[in-house]
Amino acid sequence: MEWETVIGLEIHAQLNTASKIFSGAATAYGAEPNRQACAVDLGLPGVLPVLNAAVVRKAVMLGLAIDAEIAPRSVFARKNYFYPDLPKGYQISQYELPIVARGHLEIDLEDGGRKRIGITRAHLEEDAGKSVHEGFGAMTGIDLNRAGTPLVEIVSEPDLRSAKEAVAYMKKLHALVRYLGICDGNMQEGSFRCDANVSVRPKGQQAFGTRAEIKNLNSFRFVERAINFEVERQIDLLESGGTVVQETRLYDPDRDETRSMRSKEEANDYRYFPDPDLLPVTIHAQDIESVRGEMPELPDAKRERFIRDYALSVYDAGTLTATRELADYYEAVVAGCDAPKLAANWLMGDFTAALNRSELEVGQSPVAPQALAQLLTRIQDETISGKIAKEVFDAMWAGEGDADRIIAARGLKQITDTGAIDRIIDEVIAANPSQLEQYRSGKDKLFGFFVGQVMKKTQGKANPAQVNERLRARLQGD
């Protein structure tokens, strides 16, 4: 039987505020345990939550970016469950009236097509603390620094049909929240994490199959592998006459499998009700317009503009706009050298390679965009060849100064004086009579040998185009 996979993703993105969603405690990552957990986060008696304005603005920004409805009135609710890292006994979340609803995102498919993925809703909630089960003997350690950190949970429609589509959607959303500057997207630190609802059904069937929810997917690779494993598991189960149980499963990256989490004795019954400590959140049209005014250019629009304004290929434009930092860097380089295609090649080639080697982000590059622009200008005006430019770039990366200084200090200026090039060619020909004879008797391949000799004599500084042209003329026997 042919099976169809149906996937919906729930993505939790941590909003990058300075303080928590309902308290004035700091949210910075990596603090000593419980140094950033105040009375509100600890759920001490008598405290009251007060909503952070930045959280609302960031949620509105996300809503606008996914073309969703921003609720003029949204409500916080209590989701009740008991766990030690949730000191109040409930999580403040949104249930019936989320702040953002009915949006969508377009993903690029492998065949070059595009697909629209519906986003059911995006709601605000507080994160829980962290439980540490190892190192405390028969006890569990609780660190409440993360408790109260603002999250936006983005719930997709079950529109995804393969692990690859799920990853494409997740990557797209990841790039979007980073473009918007509402989430740092750091997956190792848990700032952007994903649960996947996965089911299969016979191809052509309307009704959905029973789904399993896979938790703990904190990398793109894990999402793909976990979904593929889970799809396989469900199909095997159904084809051998079994049934899929609706349950929560945990992905174990070490074994590359999903495992049933200890089956809960009671079905999830969170008994949501409106939180009496918080009033409904009202968002006025002018609030939305003010956020709209602050919106940066979004990835898709930027990519289209790069294709149009810089005559880049779809692939190049996509690569350069993958992050806002790289796109901004690219535009700063182009502003300084007016060579869009050359700049694109350099950024995707030597520049990215150097970043990877040094394990740096774009923003940490030791070579500023203006400095790279100067280097590219020296290629454009034929002061140096592209090959020599790589040497200059490495020196710039190592902190030896700007391109002009390095070119002067190392004597790398390209030889474009035809007289000088001719003299060197004559020397080379004179020094290699037998090769000359072979070349003239038809061994064309030796042309490369002569080019090599000329470049060697000039330490690579001769203009390659001129060398080719003059050498060919000389060899053909004048």
Partner 1 sequence: MSLTSDEVRRIAHLARLAVDDREAEGFAAALSDIFDFVETLNAAEIEGVEPMAHPLDAEQRLRPDTVTEPDQRELFQAIAPAVENGVYLVPRVIE
Q: Where does this chain bind partner 1 (CB under 8 A)?
A: 17-19, 23-26, 32-40, 42, 44, 50-56, 75, 80, 82-84, 97, 131-133, 136, 138-144, 266, 269, 271, 274, 276, 278-282
Q: How far is the CB of 127 from partner 1 (least distance, A)?
A: 16
- Amino acid, single-letter form, for residue 135: G
Least Å from the CB of residue 87 to partner 1 = 9
- Of 336, 329, 328, residue with least CA distance to 354: 329
Q: Based on CB atoms, which residue is closest to partner 1, 142 or 367? A: 142
Closest CB to partner 1 among residues 104, 130:
130
Strands 212-217 and 247-252: parallel
**Of 26, 147, 31, residue with least CA distance to 83:** 147
Q: What is the residue-wise DSSP string for 168-217? A: HHHHHHHHHHHHHTS----TTTTSEEEEEEEEEEETT--S----EEEEEE
Residues 103, 66: contact at Cβ < 8 Å?
yes
Quick one: 279 or 465, whose CB is closer to partner 1?
279
Query: CB of residue 128 vs partner 1: minimum separation in angstroms?
Result: 13
Q: Least separation, in Å, of the C-beta of 90 and partner 1?
A: 11
Judged by CB, which is closer to partner 1: 82, or 315?
82
- For partner 1, which is the closer residue by CB, 39 or 314? 39
Residue 98 to residues 110, 116, 280: CA-CA distances in angstroms? Answer: 33, 22, 11
- C-beta of 23 vs 321, nearer to partner 1: 23
CA atoms within 13 A on the CB side of 26: 9
Q: How far is the CB of 257 from partner 1 (least distance, A)?
A: 19
H runs (alpha helix) in 271-415: 285-293, 299-310, 314-320, 324-337, 340-346, 352-358, 369-380, 386-397, 403-410
Distance, CA of 15 to CA of 182 (rounded, Å): 5
Q: What is the nearest approach in angstroms of partner 1 to the Cβ of residue 75?
A: 4
